[in-house]
Amino acid sequence: MYCLSCGSTKQAELTAEMMIHFRGLEHLDKPGVLLFPKIRVCLGCGLSRFTVPETELASLAKCTLEAKSYTLKESAGAVVLPFRIAY
């Protein structure tokens, strides 16, 4: 599989623990969503991708609809969120 950012084939699949929070002071009372996703990290540029499992995705969608501040693209059961790791 090639990196979507730099085209490198040097990638690693890792397991992570992360807490997703909604941004903004008005969302401080909302609990975060705890995830343990598998992350694919490009060892060339640091681009990382993970998929939110359906159960956690439902929690995110529920909070999102309540907050009405965020939108999620419809997907077949999961959302892929690309992000970069800062060094």
Amino acid at 72: L
Count CB neighbours of 86 within 10 A.
5
Residue range 50-64, pLDDT digits in tens: 988 888 888 888 777
* pTM (two decimals): 0.60
- Find the mean pLDDT for residues 21-34: 84
SS3 for the chain, per residue?
Answer: CCCCCCCCCCEEEEECCEEECCCCHHHCCCCCEEECCEEEEECCCCEEEEECCHHHHHHHHHHHHHHCCCCCCCCCCCCEEEEECCC
Domain range list for the chain: 11-84
